[in-house]
């Protein structure tokens, strides 16, 4: 799973910041790592110099192999909180999509025994 981190011009995207984001994503999505080709993370300050209570926004988009991308957003007072919130939301969303798919593939026709 490749994690690509992007920031706007109001959020410093230092190497340390990128490593922290990658670690947060890996920690939250580790269960799905072998099913994901890429996760894109976008962190930005929605209000810029005007400030605000929940003005840092994190958008995450996961790309499961062979499926449509799954995207979430989360806003919070700090970048770390926005990243953690988005990672939790993405974990939940991926769980719904991938678990449903695995459950569907594991079922037998009409809930009965497979035909011989």
Sequence spans of domains, the chain: 2-111
The 3-state secondary structure of 56-82, one letter per residue: EEEEEEEEECCCCCEEEEEEECCHHHH
- Structure confidence at residue 98 (pLDDT): 87
Averaged over successive runs of 10 residues, the pLDDT of the chain (116 residues) comes to 92 92 96 94 81 82 94 95 97 90 56 45
Architecture of domain 2-111: 2-Layer Sandwich (3.30)
- Structure confidence at residue 40 (pLDDT): 98
């Amino acid at each position: 799973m490749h994690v690509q981190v992007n920031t706007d011009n109001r959020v410093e995207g230092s190497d340390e910041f990128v490593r922290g984001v990658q670690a947060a994503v890996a920690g939250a999505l580790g269960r799905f790592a072998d099913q994901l080709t890429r996760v894109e993370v976008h962190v930005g300050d929605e209000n810029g110099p005007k400030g605000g209570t929940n003005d840092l926004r994190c958008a995450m988009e996961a790309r499961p192999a062979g499926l449509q991308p799954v995207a979430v957003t989360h806003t919070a007072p700090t970048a770390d909180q926005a990243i953690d919130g988005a990672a939790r939301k993405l974990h939940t969303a991926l769980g719904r999509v991938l678990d449903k798919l695995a459950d569907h593939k594991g079922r037998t026709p009409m809930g009965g025994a497979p035909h011989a």
